[in-house]
Each structure stands twice: as structure tokens, then as C-alpha cells.
Structure 1
Amino acid sequence: MDDGTRGGCTGVSAEDLVTRDRSSYDASDVVEELWTCLALPSEALSRVQLDADNAPALPSSFKIGVLAQSSIALAALAAAQLHALRNGGEVPRVGVPLQHAVIEFKSERFYTIDGESPSSPLNAIGGLHKTADGYIRVHDSFPNHVNGMLELMGLPKGSTREQLADKIAAWESIELENVSTVRGDLAAYALRSYDEWDALPQSTAVANIPILVQSISSNHHGIHRSKLPRSTNRCLEGIRVLEMSRVIAAPLCGKTLAAYGADMIWVTSPTLLDLPSIDRDFARGKRTVQLDIKDEVGKAKLLELVKDCDVFIQGYRPGSLANYELSSEDLVKINPDIIVANMSAFGPNGPWSGQRGFDSLVQTCSGMNVSEAQHADQGETARPLPCQALDHGSGYLLATGIMAALFRREFEGGAWQVDVSLAGTMKYLRSLGQYPGSSGFQCEDYKQQADIPPEYLEARATGFGHMMAVKHCAKIDGCEVGWRNMPKPLGSDSAEWL
């Protein structure tokens, strides 16, 4: 099915999912809807305890608090469901405090190491630029994107933002988007309104439910053995997860699975630059291995890990790993019981399905930034959300989809694929409605670690120094939740499972 209902929602039509009024939804309603769409046991829903509130939780017209609390609660409930499946008995009770959830949606901004806050991962040329007919947002977290945009504009490396702005001013925004991103290897998107986004074929190609779970290989031998032995008080203990990702959404997914006890190996490339300011937070719970998949030895080591893993998470541009024979079809040939989890910008369907993108860019091209500015009514052309809500929401939703696939695999066997996109999370967040006028901005924000209640922080020793950071907000009765492994220099661990 390509109507956005794939992987669940039995008895719910695609039209109903599109037209359903979610404006009164609180976090509990979201949990119930998405849990049902994943075809997970309905009786588990009574085990979630939320201080759900539809009031603004961060200064925004969008219902970020609802998304934060519900997406984290879904992941925690899925972990609790697996714990019950592995050990018998009732699903443990799950709790997710709203305030802690919205703070965790900004976790990468709040950690310190030896008292020092992270520096901004952005360079000096990015952000919104005026064009001949509108605006375009340039992404500049990676040097190749920075240098590529400067080269496209005929500028030398090291040019200033002002010099770039002068060049961009002569371009039409859609033309520059096409040249730089659609036909090129850069990351820049035109600023659009809702109407302009809705007129694009990609807007309707994005699924109506943000988690897609599907079986991609059945158990052809007719013999199915449980892949989930009994565990202790760690819900995902013994589950092996291999992660190849960058930036926020996919790394957050791995970090979430690690909080519930999964054995996480994060594979990075020695040929690609890391993002230390972001990586410190999202490396919590993971072991770190560096492998160059362009090298025969590195590729062989990766395939050995794939052979014995339960889950493979990838967050690179769709199709890029297929160039190295690491597509879903390739992975299933190596491991017929694997769960392949894909994080993308725009989802697996539609004309933009193969394009790269990041949270800020999806906000820009989808109309969110324009609508946010209109609600704030401060005379701004565009206004970004107060956190990377699409990244964080997508990360927790991908973790939820993975655990739903683990649950389904226990009964049906075979290999599974999970797809979550930033645009899908955007579409669902938008469907929750917006607070009227500027009312959503009449609440406090959290801007630095000093704003965080001390009970939401934890102090740990890392390979980089003394770390103070936001604890995971979910509680599961009788289970240990949190990270045992702490950040360390990339490549510090052996390429082998525990």
C-alpha cells in the first residue's frame, strides 16, 4: 500500500487519516492512534501514565509538547511491551513527565563537559538568504556543503556570509534549490508557504502516519525460533543494533534503544568529519567503531557485524548505501531476520524521496517557518521552531517502529523494514493544529543548562571529561532506563558484539 497506512491501522481508511481532526489531541491521544496503527496490543495502552496537557510547553504555535511527550512515551511503551513479551506477565507501567520531555527535545543544547557548553555546529554562511524572488535556507553544518555552495557561487573558500548573500541575491529561489540540491550535492531549500508546499507532488507522497513498518522477507523455511530470550531489568538487553548515521534524528534513535539496554555499535567513517558538538550527546549508550566501507577489510568487518545483528539503522541520503551493496535487499541476503530502519528527509515515496535534507530545511520548504512567523506576528519573514522538533520526534518514532518490528518478528519471523522521515513527522505535527494567534509563544523557554531543574540532569565521566547532561525522561516500572556507555573518541571499541 502507498497511501500511508502500511504497517497497521487495520480498519482505518487512508481518507480518514487525512481528514481526521487532531486539533484537540493531547499526548495520550497520539500514543493511542500511532500504537493502534502499528498493530500492537491495545491492552498495553492502559499502562501509560502521562500528565498530558494540550497547552504550550515551548514557545511555538506548533504543539511541540504533545509531540515530545507522545513520541517518547511510544518508544518507552514499546520497550515495556518487549520486556513483557520476553519475560511474561503484564506490561510494566510507563511514565513520561511533560516538562522533562520537552527539555529532552533540546538535549544537545544543554550538556556541558568540564563545565563548558557545546559550541555551535554551524559555520558562518548558512541560514536564510534573500533571493531575487524570495528566500532560500542554506545548510552549513558540513564543510563540503559550505565549500560547495561557495564554489557554485564562484566564491573562494573562506568567503563571508555577506559575500555569499550578494551572489545569492541574483538567483531565483527555486532555481537555486534545483541547481544546488535537486541536481547537485548541496543542501539548500526555498522558503515556501503552506499553500506552496501543498501544491507540490511530494506533499501528498509523504505518508499520513509517520511510522511505516512492513515485512520485506517472509520465513520461507516455515521454522521460526524466538529471537528474544528472557532478559533482566533492561528491556532490550541482548538486542544487537548496528547504526550508520549522522546529525540528530537517526543517532537519537540509536541513543533511545541504548537507553533501554540494546547493545549499540555506532559505525562512523574515518574519511568523514564528525560533528563533536552534537556527537557528544547522541553518542551516549553506544560503542564506537570506525570502518571505511570503501576499503575491502573495512567492508568485510561491517558485513560480519550485519550478519549477527538484529537491527540496522541508517540515516544517510536514500540510495547512498546501496552504492556499496548495503540496500535492504542486500542486507536481507546476509541476515534473513534483520530489521532495516531508514531515516530520511522526505520518505520512501515521491519525487523528492532521494533528496537529502535536514530538520531546518524541511521546516523551511514545508511552510512551517512561514506559518510560525505569521503566528508570532513580529514582522519576521520566517521563524524557526525553538528546537529541532522534527529530528527529535522522528528519532523516537523510528525507535518505536523498530521495537514494533521486533515484536512482530517474534510472531511472524522474517525480515522487516521501518521508514520514518522528517517530512512525515512534520506532516503529523502540522495535523495536530496550531495554537491561535501568538498564544503559543506565551510560555517560558529553556535556553541553557542553568534553566533545567537539577533532577533532570545527571553527571557522568566520559572520554572527554566530566559530563553533565539531560537524563532520559521515561520511567518503566521495575526496569533500568538510562545509558551505561558514555561518549569517547571515535573508533575506541572493537568491531564485535558483546
Structure 2
Amino acid sequence: MGHEHGTSHGSSAVKAEGLVKVDRSSSGAADVVEELWTGLGLPPEALSCLHLEGDSEPALPSSFRIGLLAQSSIALSALAAAQLHALRNQVEVPSVQVPLQHAIIEFKSERLYTIDKQPRPAPQNPIGGLHQTADGHIRVHDSFPNHSNGMLKLVGLPLGSTREQLAEAIAKWRSAELEDTATVKGNLAAYALRSYSQWDALPQSQAIPDSPILLQPLTSDSSPGFLGRGTKGSTKCLKGLRVLEMSRVIAAPLCGKTLAAHGADVIWITSPNLPNLPDIDREFSRGKRTLQLDIHEHADKAQLMELIEHCDVFVQGFRPGSLARYGLSPEELVKINPAIVIANMSAFGPAGPWTNQRGFDSLVQTCSGMNVSEAEHADQGEPARPMPCQALDHASGYLLATGVIAALYHRAIQGGAWQVDVSLAGTMKYLRSLGQYPGTSGFQCDDYKQQAHIPAEYLETRDTGFGRMTAVKHSANISGCEVGWDIMPKPLGSDSAEWL
């Protein structure tokens, strides 16, 4: 039972470039929700409780239908939370609304918060981004110091070299050769710029399923019926559910943040050995308690295992198989906790030759043809143009949260342990199937580049461990239920290793 869904009435299969592709260019937000909802085996009658207003016009300057993806992915996660609330309280599924404008603003949330009225600082001395090679271009990831320093070392430059010096060194390499040396054979993150046809010719392209959410049962050993602790009468849809999250950057942390918005107790585990991204962490730690554990240390590992034994959901955002060497493979986790829901976020998914490669939103946009197609539509003579937000990260986070809640629903009905897989490349494939606005028409709309551009009703101001934070509220509304975050950002490692 893999729950690999088919197509909705807004979809059709078309033959292109030797591959059968699904064309969803006539789909609206309700069609997307219906297709993915039914593919997850959730009750179809709940779909009538979803109310989505908006149109198919561009919502951010892009050829891609980012507004459609934002509204539908957030709506899916909220409707799933409402469905679980109805099951737990034996009531009708409450009404769910997600305004299109609010959804698209939330897709830029990490760029739009302020602390003590100061916006997120710009990165210092960036060396990454798109670089010209001997035969094309490559995008270098430099958010983490091990990536930027490692790239400088790879091309023979001293630490502290400038972006211009790196560009001069990279210009001597062929794109695919540098990608292979840095990313496949090394521990860095750099991908060659490809067109759609070049991406489609790769075996990895063909290993990505049409469904962006893969849900499967791992066992049938645990008893059905469990819905969380102390839940009766709660106005928070996921109250009493315990979520353990080991993740970094945006997509997987957004999954935990979304579950927290609906009331789950989320403990975010970070490592004192890995670099963090404090400016991003402050946005995606909303709603979470935070714990730092070194799983190389016996005492810390024991604390982690104790938390896993008593959690409902384990969210992880590391490459497939990378946690297995620490005794955290799905098989080991199910032995520890026979009713666990395991949620995996990766760059390229659980199958194909690239499955074990690291990757980030901007890199998947680069290697998959999206940046080339965006530039062609913008018609400004650029070799590549990134999307105006991290749409793959954000959508993937909401899709993973949806898969988690679907797994909790099925666990309540039939028991067992469950696994959910979402990848940035899977979300990319789905967004591509939604089609693109013709010519430059997608760019004829406003962007939201600073907080002053945002309607006041979409913002909230709260005290945090770092100062007074003004940030984007969650865009989903569930009738009669509370949605939002009780816990505000604080320094990593501020909490104790115990469930509420």
C-alpha cells in the first residue's frame, strides 16, 4: 500500500521528450488539494470543508504558479489537522480557509521578520551563487562555512578568498566535472545549471515519482486507536502529540513548525558539532522547544533514545541513510517505538542514483531546469533566474506535515508504524507539472520584499529570547480551533530532554 496517487480531474498525462509527464496546467488550488488528499487515503467528504478563494493570476513575480502551490500546500496541512481534530473529538470536520495573499507572504516568512524592528541581516562576504564555468554555469552553496571553505580548498584557494577569486578558479572547470568532484565524490554542495531537457535525460529525473508525498506502513504491530494525550475537547488540533525533530535549514524545520502551529509538542534537536544558521533558525523555531545533543556522546545518545521511545513522530532532514550509522534507521526506530511515524525530508528522494546526495532548494532549482526556464520566460538575457522565494523548501515542509498527519490518521484507524517521504525534487516535479505563465506575463505583479509591504493583519509581534519579534502569522484558519505558536524563539539548547 504505497498510496501513490493518480491524477485528478484537473490533470492529464502527456508524452514529452520521451517521458510520460503529468500535465496539471488546468488545475486550481482545490484540484491540487483533492488529488493529494485522495492519494493519501484520507476521507473525501472532508474536502467540502475547505474554502479557497483566489484566482490563477500570478501572486509573485515568476513564471511558475507559486501562489497555487503555496495556497494548496498550506491548505492540505490545515485540512489534515482539522480531519484529525474531528476524529479525536468525534465532531464534524471544521471549516478551513487559507487566503492566497497570506499564503504567498508566508512562503517568504524567513525574509520578512524583524527583531527589535531590525530586519534579518544580509549574509557577509558571500562567495556562492551562480558561477560561469568553461562550458556553462554551476551554483555553489555557501550558507554553511564547511561548504564555502571546502569549495575554496577544492579549487586551490586560501580561506578568506573573494567571490571574484573563486569565479576565476571555477571558470577553468567543466560544470559536470566540478559537480561530480565537489558533490558526488566530496562533501560539498554545488550543481551544474541544466535545462529541462538535460535534467529529463538524467536517471535521477526518472526515479522521482509523480506524487510529492510518499506514505507507507512499516509494520502493523501496534494497536489502532491512539490519538495523543489529554486531547478531549482541546481547541488545538494536534495537542498532546509528541514530535521529535532532527533537522536544519528550511524544509524539515518548517514541517515541525507547522505541526507546532496546530498544537503538537515539538522538540527540535540540534547538534553542538554542526554549524547553525541563526537568522533562519529564529523564524523556524517558532512553536518549538529546543535541545542540543551530541549523538557521539553516550549520555546524549541515551537521552535521544528515551525521547524517541515515547514520541509519536520523528522528523529528520538529513540525507537518506545518514542517520542509520547512529542506530537511527527506520528498522531500529520501529524496534524502539512500534507506533512511530517517521518523516523524511531529502533533496532527491529515497530512490535513484542521487538519493544520497546533499542538496538545497536553490541547487534543486538549478540542476532541474527551473532556473533556465524562469530566465527564458523573464527574457532579460540572463543564463538563470531563481524563483522569488524558496518555494520548494516551503511547499515541501507543508507537504511533509500533511503526510505526517495522514500517517497519524491511519495509525489511529489501523495501527502500525508509518513512514512519510518528501523531497525537494519531488516538489519541483509537481510544481513544474502545474505549468508556467506564458511569456513574461508571470512577472507582471508585485513582490513582498520587506515587512512594510505586508498587510498588518498578517503579522504578529511577540517577545522572544532575542528581542521583540514581528513575523508572519500562520495563514490557515480552522473554524473553532486555535492556530498559532505559543513558544517563541530562544537560544538553541534552552530546554530539558523530557516530554510535556
TM-score (norm 2): 0.96
Q: Distance in 2 between matches of 1:463 and 1:484?
A: 13
Residue of structure 1 aligned with 2:217, choices 215, 222, 232: 215
SS in 2 for 1:166: helix
Number of corresponding residues: 492
Aligned to 2:3: 7
Q: Which amino acid aligns with 2:221?
A: N
CA contact (8 A) 2:251 2:393 kept: yes
Answering whether residue 226 of structure 2 is matched by residue 226 of structure 1, we say yes
Q: 1:381 to 1:461 in 2, by over 3 A?
A: same
Q: Distance in 2 between matches of 1:301 and 1:97?
A: 41
Answering whether residue 102 of structure 2 is matched by residue 100 of structure 1, we say yes
Q: Distance in 2 between matches of 1:210 and 1:51?
A: 24
Cα distance per residue 1:15-67 (max 9 Å; x no partner): 95954431111111100110011110000000000013111000000000000
Cα distance per residue 1:123-144 (max 9 Å; x no partner): 5110000000000000000000
Aligned to 1:435: 437
CA contact (8 A) 2:349 2:355 kept: yes
Q: Which amino acid aligns with 2:143?
A: S
Q: Identity of aligned pairs, percent?
A: 71
Aligned to 1:34: 36
Q: Distance in 1 between matches of 2:244 and 2:327?
A: 16
* CA displacement at 1:387 relative to structure 2: 0.2
Q: Distance in 2 between matches of 1:328 and 1:9?
A: 23
Residue of structure 2 aligned with 1:284, choices 283, 286, 290: 286
SS in 2 for 1:480: coil
SS in 2 for 1:144: helix
Aligned to 2:346: 344
CA contact (8 A) 1:121 1:278 kept: no
Counterparts in 2 of 1:377-456, with a 5 A limit? 377-456=379-458
CA contact (8 A) 1:347 1:423 kept: yes
Q: Which amino acid aligns with 1:448?
A: Q
SS in 1 for 2:406: helix
Q: Distance in 2 between matches of 1:218 and 1:11?
A: 28
Cα distance per residue 1:352-409 (max 9 Å; x no partner): 0111000000000000000000000001100000000000000000000000000000
Q: 1:470 to 1:150 in 2, by over 3 A?
A: same
Aligned to 2:51: 49
Q: Which amino acid aligns with 1:226?
A: F
CA contact (8 A) 2:6 2:35 kept: no
Q: 1:59 to 1:15 in 2, by over 3 A?
A: closer
Aligned to 1:85: 87
Q: 1:154 to 1:19 in 2, by over 3 A?
A: closer
Aligned to 1:468: 470
Aligned to 2:27: 25
Q: Which amino acid aligns with 1:350?
A: G
* CA displacement at 1:68 relative to structure 2: 0.1
Q: Which amino acid aligns with 2:288?
A: K
Q: Distance in 2 between matches of 1:319 and 1:82?
A: 30
* CA displacement at 1:10 relative to structure 2: 7.1
Aligned to 2:366: 364
Q: Distance in 1 between matches of 2:339 and 2:4?
A: 20
Q: Which amino acid aligns with 1:72?
A: I
Out of 254-263 and 114-123, give the one that drifted further.
114-123
Q: Distance in 1 between matches of 2:287 and 2:77?
A: 16
Q: Distance in 2 between matches of 1:108 and 1:390?
A: 14
Q: Distance in 2 between matches of 1:123 and 1:417?
A: 40
CA contact (8 A) 1:248 1:282 kept: yes
Counterparts in 2 of 1:284-363, with a 5 A limit? 284-363=286-365
* CA displacement at 1:339 relative to structure 2: 0.4
Q: Distance in 2 between matches of 1:443 and 1:244?
A: 37
Counterparts in 2 of 1:35-184, with a 5 A limit? 35-121=37-123, 123-184=125-186
* CA displacement at 1:296 relative to structure 2: 0.5
Q: Which amino acid aligns with 1:113?
A: I
CA contact (8 A) 2:21 2:433 kept: no
CA contact (8 A) 1:26 1:52 kept: no
CA contact (8 A) 2:12 2:23 kept: no
CA contact (8 A) 1:72 1:474 kept: yes
Q: Distance in 1 between matches of 2:472 and 2:466?
A: 17
CA contact (8 A) 2:319 2:355 kept: no
Q: Distance in 1 between matches of 2:6 and 2:374?
A: 34
5+ residue gaps, structure 1: none
* CA displacement at 1:225 relative to structure 2: 4.3
Q: Which amino acid aligns with 1:88?
A: Q
Q: 1:240 to 1:231 in 2, by over 3 A?
A: farther
SS in 2 for 1:217: coil
CA contact (8 A) 2:196 2:373 kept: yes
Q: Distance in 1 between matches of 2:133 and 2:21?
A: 36
Q: Distance in 2 between matches of 1:167 and 1:412?
A: 58
CA contact (8 A) 1:340 1:418 kept: yes
SS in 2 for 1:85: helix
Q: 1:10 to 1:202 in 2, by over 3 A?
A: closer
5+ residue gaps, structure 2: 15-19
* CA displacement at 1:218 relative to structure 2: 1.4
CA contact (8 A) 1:110 1:117 kept: yes
Q: Distance in 1 between matches of 2:51 and 2:412?
A: 27
Q: Which amino acid aligns with 2:3?
A: G
Q: Which amino acid aligns with 1:207?
A: P
Q: Which amino acid aligns with 1:214?
A: Q
SS in 2 for 1:420: strand
* CA displacement at 1:270 relative to structure 2: 1.1
SS in 2 for 1:25: coil
* CA displacement at 1:411 relative to structure 2: 1.3
SS in 2 for 1:219: coil
CA contact (8 A) 1:391 1:422 kept: yes
Q: Which amino acid aligns with 2:191?
A: Y
